[in-house]
Amino acid sequence: MPRTLGEIVARFGGELKGDPQRPVTGLATLENAGPDQLSFLANPKYRRQLATTRAGAVILSAEAAPECPCDAIVTPQPYLYFARVSQWLAEVPRPAPGIHPSAVVESAVPASAAIGPLAWIGPEVTLGENCVIGAHCRIGAGAAIGDDSWLYPGVTVYHGCRIGRRAIIHSGVVIGADGFGFAQDGAAWVKIAQSGRVVIGDDVEIGANTTIDRGALEDTVIEEGVKLDNQIQIAHNVRIGRDTAIAGCVGIAGSTKIGARCTIGGAAMIIGHLTLADGVHVSAGTFVGKSLPTAGHYTGTVPLQVHAEWLKNFAHLRHLDALTDKIRALEKRLAELENPR
């Protein structure tokens, strides 16, 4: 349903420069927006596109407003403003409450819940008000899911796990599978029972095909406000602090503790039994092999090179200690020559 610029500003604030009756049917980039769409400028590298945009209006800062050729919404944080507007304009209608005839429900559920086709809700499950459980979801015995949570089709929640209010969990997510715990008996492996749970706080979003393993003895804990991208692996007994955001394909090994308000870039790897302080920011592709007790930005990537050049440089790195010893010996010899006794 189209909205007007006036309605958007009335709801989210900001300063409107232009026609409050201008209709807005959706959002688009500066490059591709049309006259009935709202765009935004947050990254300075796209500023050159502002002059030629065909957008009906642009969300931008006061600094960029004089260059805008169309209507504008001026705000100190254009990207945050865009995020809030995007939620409002793209709001997905919730399914009507009720239980699909093909679903298997072994627990009492609120009348406000929507249970999709072929879903299974096991015994002694606690389901909050206004939950959406999509088609083919599987909720194990004794699990609990808070009010207003939405599980998209194909989510699996193992027995005993806890999910807070307003969770958004996308298709293919598995919560509470066994952690990777084995003891070696000669050449064989003996499984360690994974008797903990996964406990997830309020307002957590989990992307498609992410897996969160249950704890071995204690719980795996995802605190309030955490945002997880697609295809992340979180091992047993990990704890992730509130409002931390983790990008796709990250792997976090067992018993690692990640603080609050951290960011972990895509494909970063974090080994087990480490502690990352609050406010740690890890760049994409970084290997974290030690604890990071101080807030800050950490990068451990090597720039891309032609393979032959990489082999040559790596060969030099292998001899770095020996080269360092030689340089120290030369420095000592030079000092003796410059200052003879």
pLDDT in tens, the chain (341 residues): 789 999 999 999 999 999 999 999 999 999 999 999 999 999 999 999 999 999 999 999 999 999 999 999 999 999 999 999 999 988 788 899 999 999 999 999 999 999 999 999 999 999 999 999 999 999 999 999 999 999 999 999 999 999 999 999 999 999 999 999 999 999 999 999 999 999 999 999 999 999 999 999 999 999 999 999 999 999 999 999 999 999 999 999 999 999 999 999 999 999 999 999 999 999 999 999 999 999 999 998 777 788 898 888 888 888 889 999 999 999 988 988 888 77
CA-CA distance, 57 to 50, in Å (whole number)?
11
Q: Are 162 and 143 in contact (CB under 8 A)?
A: yes
Task: Indicate if 133 and 47 belong to the same structural domain.
Answer: no
CA-CA distance, 332 to 336, in Å (whole number)?
6
Task: Indicate if 49 and 162 belong to the same structural domain.
Answer: no
Write out the residue range of the structural domain in which residue 66 sits.
3-89
Determine phi and psi for 268, rounding to 5 degrees: -70, 150
Q: Are 30 and 53 in contact (CB under 8 A)?
A: yes
Distance in angstroms between the alpha carbons of the first and the last residue of the chain? 90
> Domain total for the chain?
3
Burial class (CB in 10 A: 0-12, 13-18, 19+), 296: exposed
Determine phi and psi for 133, rounding to 5 degrees: -115, 110
Per annotation, catalytic residue among 236, 273, 281, 319: 236
pTM of the entire structure?
Answer: 0.87
CA-CA distance, 104 to 121, in Å (whole number)?
6
Task: Indicate if 42 and 168 belong to the same structural domain.
Answer: no
Phi-psi region of 32 (alpha: psi -120 to 50; beta: other; left: phi over 0): alpha
Task: Indicate if 262 and 125 belong to the same structural domain.
Answer: yes
Six token digits for residue 74:
């001026």
Task: Indicate if 312 and 291 belong to the same structural domain.
Answer: no
Task: Indicate if 42 and 116 belong to the same structural domain.
Answer: no
Is residue 236 flagged as an active site residue? yes
Six token digits for residue 282:
């890890």
The H-or-E segment that residue 269 falls in is strand 269-270
